[in-house]
Structure 1
């Protein structure tokens, strides 16, 4: 009898058993957040499977883990690695919608006629141009693309009235965004680079699209995983062109105009030698 009690106690202490009980205790909270087409039993099974497949989540701060689960339920998406995933940053869990889930949510909203995103590999046909009738894109995947070569990533959407929006991005631009990710060397950016690249293009495209605030929030669920301030902004924007600085100085009131040296001024030169360069009109 004592052996049975001891085995039961050990089983109850297993982290997977503990988190399963905690998931069950939040059934009513999940049910209130979930849309009608997702049964709460299915959602609980998917959450538990996500933990079983990534047991690092067991060491996550438990409140952040269940906050991530609730955001998944509110978005009407499953944390199954297809709709989205619960990822770990430090000891905090974070809900991150994936490309498939984002596209499904936007299509189901009915606010756009179509939306998609693709990685253009070596051998694929791709052309993007703008003329007086708007944006245009031609894309045809190769039968056997060279997946070791990424030429471009793009997202495009068409509104119900037929207007096309396209957002092409180079690998260099994608990597600038990755550089400000707090998990740039592990997790989704390593395991699902293509997915993260397409999502980056979709996020940028979304700024130009007529969408509800709910969809806008969905695309930015993982903002906490990025350093969007300070050095992160500099990494994305890059250095300010000298022409922009010159125009800013010309537009500023006299008292506020900074006494900046010309970009090509050698270190140690007298400030007087740079006055002609500062006063020169911008090209």
Structure 2
């Protein structure tokens, strides 16, 4: 068969064709802020531009579909800095990056700042919730401690990773619950991650960024993390207002416009060492 014939057969029977056949299933789970046609074009483009991904997907199309479905469910673009499609042996793994977790938190609209940092052995870290700082050098804040104090020399040897912490700041300025994880917990999560010792694993290539993602995941139960949450809040508020106003207003009241808050402005590829994110 000619090269052209092989290319046509690949398009008709290969991974791209399988993805196309399951278009409805994939777009069905997409959050409302994602345009289905745009998302599908990105998925096709990823396969066409990555030969290794295409080869593994040809051998194991089921793993590709599983990864893409998870990507769609979370509302991320496939093979972006928010969600990685990584070939491991004979399968494709879908891995949400730290950036993806934070994006989902911002998307809900309830949190205006997400703070997450890795703590190293030579850093200074103090977290005594509800107490007043009594450091020998004097107090570093007024009143009870509501968020951790973390000081580091960013340009020296900070030692080994010993933990991480994360919290969000809500729109009214109050902090969320503070989440702190130690090295034992980090190692436990890594051990349970499939292929974490593989040279291509993000746990090997970007260890500190995986620590950030781990602590950000621990923050999720304490803050809203989806666009649908924000939309549901607005819908519920409209229904309550309409019910209180009476039947005449219920019939006339327009549905409040919903605009998805931008997420790209929330991130800067040149951000400093505090936030950090997975890099190619």
Q: Does the aligned pair in 1 maintain the 2:122–2:159 contact within 8 Å? A: no
1:158 aligns with 2:157: no
* 1:167 alignment counterpart: 179
How far does the alpha carbon of each residue in 1:25-53 deviate from its partner, in whole angstroms, 9 at most, with x for none? Answer: 44444444434554445423443454416
Asked whether the equivalents of residues 121 and 149 of structure 1 are also in contact (C-alpha less than 8 Å), the reply is yes
Aligned counterparts of 1:48 and 1:148: Cα–Cα separation in 2: 43
In the TM superposition, 1:23-102 aligns within 5 A as: 23-35=19-31, 37-48=33-44, 50-51=46-47, 52=50, 54-55=52-53, 57-58=56-57, 61-88=60-87, 91-102=90-101
**Mapping of residues 106-117 of structure 1, within 5 Å:** 106-117=105-116
Distance change (3 Å), C-alpha of 1:65 and 1:163: same
Contact 2:57/2:92 (CA < 8 Å) preserved in 1?
no
Give the superposed CA RMSD.
Answer: 3.6
CA distance in 1, matches of 2:159, 2:38: 37
Taking a change above 3 Å as real, the CA distance of residues 171 and 42 of structure 1, as seen in their structure-2 partners, is: same
Gaps of 5+ in 1: 217-283
8 Å CA contact 2:121, 2:162 repeated in 1: yes
Closer, same or farther: CA 145–77 of 1 in aligned 2, 3 Å: farther
Shift in Å at residue 106 of structure 1? 0.9
Instruction: Kindly indicate whether residue 209 of structure 2 is the aligned counterpart of residue 195 of structure 1.
Output: yes
Could you say which structure has the greater relative contact order, defined with CA pairs below 8 angstroms and 6 or more residues apart? 2
Aligned length: 211
Could you tell me how far apart the structure 1 residues matched to 2:121 and 2:12 are?
44
Instruction: Give, in whole Å, the separation in 2 of the partners of 1:15 and 1:146.
Output: 51
Structure 2 unaligned blocks of 5 or more: 132-143, 230-280
Shift of 1:136: 2.4
TM-score normalised to structure 1 length: 0.59
Give the distance between the partners of 1:112 and 1:100, measured in 2 at CA. 15
d(CA) in 2 for partners of 1:180 and 1:174? 10
Instruction: Give, in whole Å, the separation in 2 of the partners of 1:105 and 1:94.
Output: 20
Give me the whole-angstrom Cα distance separating, in 1, the residues matched to 2:205 and 2:13.
Answer: 28
Instruction: Name the CA shift for 1:16/1:159 in 2 (closer, same or farther; >3 Å).
Output: farther
TM-score when scaled to structure 2? Answer: 0.59
Structure holding more strand per residue: 1
User: Distance between the aligned counterparts of 1:131 and 1:61, measured in 2?
Assistant: 52
Matched, 1:20 2:19: no
* Alignment CA distance shift 1:112-1:11 (3 Å): same
State the distance in 1 between where 2:208 and 2:51 align.
Answer: 21
1:116-155 equivalent positions in 2, closer than 5 A: 116-121=115-120, 126-132=125-131, 133=144, 135-140=146-151, 142-146=153-157, 149-155=160-166
How far 1:16 sits from its partner (Å)? 11
Deviation at residue 122 of structure 1 after TM alignment? 6.7
Rounded Cα–Cα distance in structure 2 between residues aligned with 1:90 and 1:59: 13
Secondary structure in 2 aligned to 1:21? Answer: helix
Contact kept, 8 Å, 1:121 with 1:145, in 2: the verdict is no
State yes or no: 1:179 paired with 2:191: yes
